[in-house]
C-alpha cells in the first residue's frame, strides 16, 4: 500500500538531499541510539575526538526527552528543517528511543522533516511506526550486494541474540536491507543509499551497487570515501583519493542521482552543513545531557534505594525493592515500594530494571556499578550516587537543583562494583 500522501516528501528544505537547501537550512542529528547490531571493519565507535567529523562519533548520549529539549532550543537559534537520528550506533538496534524521539519532535514541530540513517538490518519491523510518525527520508548504508565482498567488510551481524559471521552474516544483512527498501518504497518513503568506498575491498563493486539500487526504486546514491580510524580493522587502508571517487561517482551516476556535498557528519552534528559543531551547540547539547528533569517524557516519579526510608544508604545491587516517590501539590510523597529484579542475568537484570521503572525520571542510590549506570541512563533514568537525607535528594531532583553537595564523600563509593548483575555479597 502506498501511503505517500501521508508523508511530507518535499526535499526543498532537506540540506542532505538538496544541495541548494544546505545553504539556508540546517539539520540536527540527535544521538539517542548508542547500540549497534553490525560490526563494520572500518568502524571504531569507542574513539571520539571533539574536533573530528565522521559518522559514529558523539560526545553525548541523549534520552528522547533531552533530545526534544535540545531540538526545541537549537531551532530558536538557527533555521532547522531536519531532525535526524544517525547513531552513534544504529537507530533500530534498540528502536524504542528512536521512535520515541521522533514522536516527540513531530508533536512539537509538525513541519520538521524526519530522517533516519541506518544499516538496514532491523528496519523492516518498524516501517509501520515510521509511516505513522511521518518519517519521510531514510538512508540505508549498503556496502556490498555480493556476500563474498560483504564478508570482508563486516566482522559480525547480530540478529536477536545470535551472532552471524562471514558470508552467512553478510547474506542475512543484505536480505534484510533489500526487504527494508522494498517496504519503505511501497509506503512512499524517500530512500537514499550510502556506500562506504573501501580501496581494495569494494571500490570496484560500488557502481554495481548503484545499478541494483536503481532497479529497486532508490532515489539517490551517496558514495562516501572511507575514513581510516585508529583501532579499526581497516585502520591501515588509505582513504580513497579524489581520482577514485570521481570515477566511482561518474559511473554510479549513470544509474542514480549522486549526492556530492556529503560532509560525513557526526552523530551529534547540528546547524548548517558548513558548520563544524560550533561550541555554542556543543554547550547546549551538554546542558541537555545533564538535565535531571526530562521534558515531554511521562516520567513523574523518582526511585530511591534506601534501607529504612530516611537515608540514602543502599547500593543498587543489594536493593530488593526501591521506594517510589511522587510530587503532589508541591509535596513529596511515598507512592509505593516496587520490587527490583532478582540478582543474576548480567545486563538483562539492569535492562529489566530500566523497563520496570521507566516511569521514573531518576534513580537515587548510595552505590552503583559502571554497567547498570550506563544501561539505566541510556534508557532515560538519570542516576544519582549520593548520601544523606532521602527527602532532600528527592526534592532537589524535582526542583532541578544540583545534587553535587550530596555526592558520596568516600572516593571508593561504588567503585569496586562493576555491576555484573550478580548482586552484592
Question: Quick check: 109 and 21 in contact, CB under 8 A?
Answer: no
Q: Assess if residue 420 is contained within a domain.
A: no
Rounded-to-integer distance, Cα 190 and Cα 8, Å: 10
Per-chain mean pLDDT for the chain: 83
Residue 72 or 163, more confident: 163
User: Do 136 and 212 belong to one domain?
Assistant: yes
CB atoms within 10 A of CB 44: 18
Instruction: Point out the domain boundary residue: 289, 323, 347.
Output: 289
Q: Assess if residue 159 is contained within a domain.
A: yes
User: Do 185 and 265 belong to one domain?
Assistant: yes
User: Do 82 and 149 belong to one domain?
Assistant: yes
CATH number of the domain bearing residue 366: 3.30.420.130
User: Do 156 and 272 belong to one domain?
Assistant: yes
Torsion of CA 283, 284, 288, 293, to 10 degrees: 110
pTM: 0.70
For range 219-242, the mean pLDDT? 89
User: Do 261 and 376 belong to one domain?
Assistant: no
Q: How far is CA 70 from CA 24, 282, 286, 328, in A?
A: 20, 10, 9, 28
User: Do 270 and 344 belong to one domain?
Assistant: no
Q: Which helix (H) or strand (E) segment is 71 a member of?
A: helix 64-75
Share in percent of the chain as helix, strand, coil (round to 5)? 35, 20, 45
Q: Determine the pLDDT at residue 2.
A: 42
Q: Determine the pLDDT at residue 197.
A: 94
Q: Assess if residue 157 is contained within a domain.
A: yes
Q: Assess if residue 295 is contained within a domain.
A: no
Question: Quick check: 109 and 142 in contact, CB under 8 A?
Answer: no
Rounded-to-integer distance, Cα 27 and Cα 22, Å: 9
Q: How many domains does the chain have?
A: 2
Residues in Cβ contact with 1 at an 8 Å cutoff, skipping those fewer than 6 apart: 186, 187
Q: Determine the pLDDT at residue 300.
A: 87
Residue 397 or 202, more confident: 202
Q: Which of 182, 152, 180, 186 is nearest to 167 (CA)?
A: 152
For range 181-195, the mean pLDDT? 94
Q: How far is CA 314 from CA 128, 133, 304, 424, in A?
A: 43, 41, 9, 11
pLDDT tens sequence across 6-53: 444 566 667 676 666 666 677 888 998 888 999 988 887 654 444 445
Q: Assess if residue 277 is contained within a domain.
A: yes
Q: Assess if residue 412 is contained within a domain.
A: no
Range from 276-290, 308-322, 392-406 carrying the lowest mean pLDDT: 276-290
Could you give the percent of the chain with pLDDT greater than 90?
Answer: 43
User: Do 285 and 305 belong to one domain?
Assistant: no
DSSP code of residue 297: S
CATH number of the domain bearing residue 275: 3.20.20.70
423: left (phi over 0), alpha (psi -120 to 50) or beta: left
Range of the domain at 328: 301-406
Question: Which pLDDT band, with edges at 50, 70 and 90, does 55 fall under?
Answer: low
Q: Assess if residue 413 is contained within a domain.
A: no
User: Do 335 and 209 belong to one domain?
Assistant: no
User: Do 308 and 285 belong to one domain?
Assistant: no
User: Do 261 and 204 belong to one domain?
Assistant: yes
DSSP code of residue 92: T
**Main-chain phi, psi angles of 312, to 5 degrees:** -90, 100
Q: Assess if residue 125 is contained within a domain.
A: yes
Residues in Cβ contact with 138 at an 8 Å cutoff, skipping those fewer than 6 apart: 115, 116, 117, 118, 123, 130, 184, 189, 190, 191, 192
pLDDT tens sequence across 344-390: 777 889 999 988 998 898 899 999 998 898 888 878 788 899 999 99
Amino acid at each position: 500500500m502506498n501511503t505517500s500522501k501521508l508523508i511530507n516528501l518535499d526535499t526543498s528544505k532537506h540540506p542532505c538531499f538538496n544541495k541548494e537547501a544546505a545553504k539556508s537550512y540546517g539539520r540536527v542529528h540527535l544521538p539517542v541510539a548508542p547500540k549497534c547490531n553490525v560490526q563494520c571493519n572500518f568502524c571504531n565507535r569507542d574513539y571520539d575526538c571533539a574536533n573530528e567529523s565522521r559518522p559514529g562519533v558523539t560526545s553525548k548520549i541523549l534520552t528522547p526527552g533531552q533530545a526534544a529539549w535540545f531540538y526545541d532550543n537549537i531551532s530558536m537559534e538557527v533555521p532547522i528543517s531536519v531532525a535526524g537520528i544517525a547513531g552513534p550506533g544504529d537507530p533500530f538496534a534498540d528502536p524504542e528511543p528512536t521512535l520515541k524521539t521522533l514522536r516527540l519532535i513531530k508533536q512539537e514541530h509538525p513541519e520538521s522533516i524526519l530522517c533516519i540513517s541506518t544499516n538496514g538490518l532491523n528496519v523492516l519491523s518498524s516501517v509501520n511506526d515510521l509511516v505513522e510518525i511521518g518519517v519521510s527520508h531514510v538512508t540505508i548504508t549498503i556496502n556490498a550486494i555480493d556476500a563474498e565482498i560483504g564478508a570482508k567488510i563486516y566482522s559480525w551481524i547480530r540478529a536477536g541474540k545470535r551472532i552471524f559471521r562471514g558470508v552467512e552474516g553478510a547474506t542475512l544483512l543484505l536480505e534484510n536491507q533489500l526487504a527494508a527498501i522494498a517496504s519503505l518504497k511501497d509506503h512512499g518513503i524517500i530512500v537514499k543509499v550510502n556506500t562506504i568506498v573501501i580501496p581494495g575491498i569494494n571500490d570496484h563493486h560500488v557502481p554495481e551497487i548503484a545499478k541494483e539500487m536503481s532497479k529497486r526504486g532508490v532515489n539517490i546514491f551517496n558514495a562516501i570515501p572511507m575514513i581510516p580510524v585508529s583501532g579499526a580493522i581497516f585502520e591501515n587502508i588509505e582513504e580513497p583519493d579524489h581520482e577514485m571517487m570521481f570515477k566511482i561517482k561518474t559511473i554510479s551516476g549513470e544509474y542514480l542521482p549522486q549526492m556530492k556535498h556529503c560532509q560525513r557528519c557526526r552523530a551529534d552534528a547540528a546547524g548548517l552543513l558548513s558548520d563544524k559543531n560550533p561550541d555554542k551547540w556543543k554547550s547546549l547539547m551538554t546542558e541537555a545531557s545533564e538535565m535531571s528533569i526530562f521534558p515531554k517524557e511521562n516520567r513523574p516519579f523518582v526511585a530511591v534505594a534506601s534501607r529504612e526510608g530516611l537515608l540514602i544508604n543502599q547500593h543498587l545491587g543489594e536493593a530488593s525493592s526501591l521506594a517510589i516517590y511522587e510530587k503532589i501539590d508541591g509535596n513529596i510523597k511515598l507512592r509505593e515500594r516496587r520490587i527490583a529484579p532478582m540478582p543474576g542475568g548480567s545486563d538483562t537484570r539492569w535492562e529489566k530494571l530500566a523497563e520496570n521503572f521507566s516511569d521514573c525520571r531518576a534513580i537515587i542510590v548510595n552505590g552503583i556499578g559502571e554497567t547498570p549506570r550506563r544501561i539505566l541512563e541510556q534508557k532515560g533514568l538519570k542516576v544519582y550516587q549520593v548520601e544523606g537525607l532521602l527527602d532532600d535528594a528527592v526534592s532537589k531532583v524535582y526542583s532541578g537543583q544540583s545534587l553535587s553537595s550530596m555526592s558520596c564523600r568516600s572516593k571508593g563509593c561504588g567503585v569496586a562494583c562493576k555491576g555484573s548483575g550478580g548482586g552484592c555479597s
